[in-house]
Amino acid sequence: SAVISQKPSRDICQRGTSLTIQCQVDSQVTMMFWYRQQPGQSLTLIATANQGSEATYESGFVIDKFPISRPNLTFSTLTVSNMSPEDSSIYLCSVGTGGNTIYFGEGSWLTVV
Amino acid sequence: AQRVTQPEKLLSVFKGAPVELKCNYSYSGSPELFWYVQYSRQRLQLLLRHISRESIKGFTADLNKGETSFHLKKPFAQEEDSAMYYCALSGTDKLIFGTGTRLQVFP
């Protein structure tokens, strides 16, 4: 398994601002993903963070709104840009260590006011 | 299209009763299926995966390709089983989640 640390764990932000969430893994992993879990809903994949290249975004998510970096095999960031109350959600970093098993961080609880 | 369906949003049982959380999937190839659990104020964690054919915390799940189902079962529910349960499908290197079922086990 992998130990995943996310920062911040929780934040309250003003609308129109941007916030960057960091994800640190204790070992090198091949796959890193960013999910969103809106209140009362299931997890939705935002994008796959690719090391050394642009992230692969799912339908409904765009790079301008959710820029992602992955400079190495243990670290990634997700930025939520120009936030609105609809962006209030839990943002989860997850990693794949092979064999299709995915592990999750504790999530970053974001509230936009 | 890849899709995971959990028809029940909430399942309430009494302690000691059998539990079955339903999961149906849609996938054209050979999927890998998982159950994840999220206890109150804790992170999402893997409960079990179909290829392991294991029993975790008394839970089992059998992949039925004919019915495209992967229902989660436990013969005798415990209060500590109360949580959100998510069925997930792994297709092409990413996980697709169902909408989740909240299990409430009453004493």
Comparing C-alpha atoms, which of B13, B89, B85, B17 is closest to residue B56?
B85
From A104, which residue of chain B is nearest by alpha-carbon distance?
B44
Q: Which residues of B sit within 8 Å Cβ distance of A?
A: 32, 34, 36, 42-46, 49, 86, 88, 90, 93-100
Phi, psi of B52, deg, nearest 5: -80, -25
Least CB–CB distance from B100: residue in A42, A101, A107: A42
Tokens of B85: 């349960």
Residue A99: predicted pLDDT: 62
First and final CA of chain B: distance in angstroms?
41
Nearest CA-CA partner of A93 in A12, A41, A18, A26: A26
Asked if B49 and B36 touch (Cβ cutoff 8 Å), the reply is no
B43 and A100 within 8 Å at the Cβ level: the answer is no
**pLDDT exceeds 70 at position A3:** yes
Q: Do A101 and B45 touch (CB under 8 A)?
A: no
The pairing of strands A108-112 and A10-13 is: parallel
SS (H, E, C) chain A: CCCEEEECCEEEECCCCCEEEEEEECCCCCEEEEEEECCCCCEEEEEEECCCCCCEECCCCCCCCCCEEEEECCEEEEEECCCCHHHCEEEEEEEECCCCCEEECCCEEEEEC
If pLDDT is split at 50, 70 and 90, which confidence band does B107 have?
very high
**Which chain B positions have a beta carbon within 8 Å of A32's beta carbon?**
none
| Stretch A9-32: mean pLDDT | 94
Each residue's pLDDT tens digit, A60-108? 999 999 999 999 999 999 999 999 999 999 999 999 876 667 888 889 9
CB spacing of B95 vs A45 below 8 angstroms: yes
Q: Is the pLDDT score of B1 beyond 80?
A: no
Report the pLDDT averaged over residues A23-28.
94
**Higher-scoring residue by pLDDT: B15, B94:** B15
**Bridge pairing between strands B32-38 and B45-49:** antiparallel
Higher pLDDT, B43 or A8: A8
Look up residue B46 and give its two tokens.
């893997």
What per-residue confidence (pLDDT) applies to A86? 94
Q: Which residues of A touch B99 (CB under 8 A)?
A: 41-42
Average pLDDT over all residues of chain A: 91
Residues 6+ apart with CB under 8 A from B30: none
Are the beta carbons of B32 and A100 separated by less than 8 Å?
A: yes
What does the pLDDT read at residue B93?
A: 66
Burial label, A96 (beta-carbon count in 10 A; 0-12, 13-18, 19+): buried
Task: Write out chain B residues lying below 8 Å of A43, CB-based.
Answer: 44, 86, 97
> Which residues in chain B have their CB less than 8 angstroms from residue A3's CB?
none
pLDDT in tens, B27-84: 887 788 999 999 988 888 889 988 777 788 999 998 898 999 999 999 999 999 999 9
